[in-house]
Structure 1
Amino acid sequence: MSKPPRLSLPPRAVARRLVTARGEFAVHEALPAGEPRGTALLVPGFTGSKEDFIGLLEPLSAAGYRVVTVDGRGQHESPGPADEAAYAQDRLAADVLAQADAVQDGPVHLLGHSLGGLISRAAVLRAPDRFRTLTLMSSGPAAIDEAQQERTKLLVAALEMLGDDMEAVWQAMRAQDPEGTPQDSPELVEFLHRRWLGTVPQQLIATGRQLIGEPDRVAELLAAAPGLPKHVLSGAVDYAWPVPLMDDMAHRLGAHRTVIAGTEHSPNAEDPAATAAALAAFWDAH
């Protein structure tokens, strides 16, 4: 799971509710400094939340972008039903389209991190004209790597068995942390725990299955949105989708490719300054 580099919002950023045609979503919104250059909508990954992008808010705002980061349906501070069908990919894609409409700023720059990339891709496939660009961050062409599939299957099984007791699942996950894992600050531990308990277990079950079973939709995306500028951004190492797989996806899409040196699956949190600079440069070009 992504770990935010900090939890406090920067200047020009607020936490609020985004009212859409598909319900309300918890968001962080940062307003641009100086001349506005566009609006970006950022969609988090599996077990994630809007806080995963908190390190990007200030540098992207300084670059002139309005940035809206969301908790998806059933994630952290956005409500969701205890019904797996509510988290089918087409429904989550419909949420992204509703969020893009609700920011009321014309076509937006869309970014999806990890699972959020698969959902964002599905949204673009439904309505490519609603977006100015698409960035897939640490998100690959199809299902996650086989080793990660096995880990995700175990988590899904635990949630199916113990989802009514999210605390028990949390404790079981913590017991699996490798010996010598660096200790997080008490503030971050409290946040990660609270976020986990606030996420609807059926959301995690349904989206975990998506990570395991996602088909390769690269050709479909290229056919549906041939003129949409695309960007594949990742760390130098990735355990969910190997970097060479993302290299190949970028080639197949004709996409701009960025690798953030010294980072892994969450460059947005591990080196937000370099990640924001790469994003702003790509958006500036389009």
Structure 2
Amino acid sequence: MTDPAHLSPPPGARAYPLRTARGGFAVVDMPVAPGVEHKGTALLLPGFTGSKEDFRLMQGPLAERGYRTVAVDGRGQFESDGPADDESAYTQPELARDVLAQAEAVGTPVHLLGHSLGGQIARAAVLFDHSPFVSLTLMASGPAQISVSQQQRVKLLRDALAVMNMTEVWEAIQAMGPPEDVGGPARGLGGPELLRRRWLGNKPAQLMATARQLCTEPDRVAELAAVPLPFHVLSGARDDTWPVPLLDDMAARLGAHRTVVEGAEHSPNADQPLPTARAIADFWDRVPR
């Protein structure tokens, strides 16, 4: 039996379709906690096979620190619509323009945070136009393509999507073993029914296009370093998608604030949400308003 709480936004938050100049996007919008001074607004972008629910455990603590957070399903991700078969809708420039439209609809200026793939899309948005943003946080999101071992996993997924429908691929993922071993879409916040619903909500073309991006992304750190924004590179103490020393080096090249969250791996927002939220709010507090 599924726990209904796993399908609901966190207490005090509102789930709705955010209307933008580029269409609607499903969001979970958490206002600042009652009685707390409003310090700013943040847009939160999830990673590959992820969704807005990945930030569920962070949104309350950030609200207590004075930050409204809007977690977004990107185009073709979970509850945001998009074409099922047209990969051109999911090129990185298109997804970056979506982020700029989301920021405008939420109300600029905003802090921008992206997890994993979401970090690379956030970076592309900032490189298009940094003016809507007051800071950029890259959470477990590296300078270029993912590690060779993760490229192999992503290739397996793309090969499966080429010959099976979404339900068949989900059943194959489930047959591979327990979620903690399989990872990817089988692992995340919420019960198994939410994870299944999330997987089936993803558009195959979005998964195919963004999987390719993760395996071919060039190093754009020098370009980003030239942008006049405060940067924050946050990761777990272990990460097999982008090794931690690579993230350390990226932070140094960006002149970024660096946080390593102990006890966390590739998803600090889920593994250690309270210290992760604290580190993010501490960084945002230092950004001039």
Question: TM-score per shorter chain, which class?
Answer: over 0.9
Question: For the residues of structure 2 that align with 1:126 and 1:179, how far apart are their CA atoms?
Answer: 37
Deviations 1:113-149 (CA, angstroms, capped at 9, x unpaired): 0000000000000001110000000000000000110
Question: 1:44-193 counterparts in 2 under 5 A?
Answer: 44-82=46-84, 83-104=86-107, 106-162=108-164, 165-177=165-177, 181=181, 188-193=191-196
Q: Secondary structure at the match of 2:136?
A: strand
Aligned to 2:270: 269
Aligned pair count reads: 277
Q: What TM-score results when the alignment is normalised by the length of structure 2?
A: 0.92
Structure 1 contact 232–255 (Cα < 8 Å) conserved: yes
Structure 2 contact 62–277 (Cα < 8 Å) conserved: yes
Deviations 1:76-97 (CA, angstroms, capped at 9, x unpaired): 0000012100000000000000
Q: Secondary structure at the match of 2:131?
A: helix
Structure 2 contact 233–251 (Cα < 8 Å) conserved: yes
Unaligned runs of 5+ in 2: none
Structure 1 contact 6–54 (Cα < 8 Å) conserved: no
Shift in Å, 1:179: 9.6
Q: Secondary structure at the match of 1:129?
A: coil
In the alignment, residue 74 of structure 2 is paired with which amino acid?
G
Q: What TM-score results when the alignment is normalised by the length of structure 1?
A: 0.93
Aligned to 1:23: 23
Question: For the residues of structure 1 that align with 2:88 and 2:62, how far apart are their CA atoms?
Answer: 35
Greater CA drift, 175-184 or 77-86: 175-184
Deviations 1:195-230 (CA, angstroms, capped at 9, x unpaired): 00010000000000000000000001112x1x2000
In the alignment, residue 138 of structure 1 is paired with which amino acid?
A
Question: For the residues of structure 2 that align with 1:282 and 1:29, how far apart are their CA atoms?
Answer: 21
Question: For the residues of structure 2 that align with 1:234 and 1:148, how far apart are their CA atoms?
Answer: 17
Unaligned runs of 5+ in 1: none
Q: Secondary structure at the match of 1:117?
A: helix
Structure 1 contact 109–131 (Cα < 8 Å) conserved: yes
Shift in Å, 1:178: 6.0
Aligned to 1:238: 239
Q: How many percent of aligned residue pairs carry the same amino acid?
A: 61
Q: Secondary structure at the match of 2:191?
A: helix
C-alpha RMSD of matched pairs (Å): 2.0
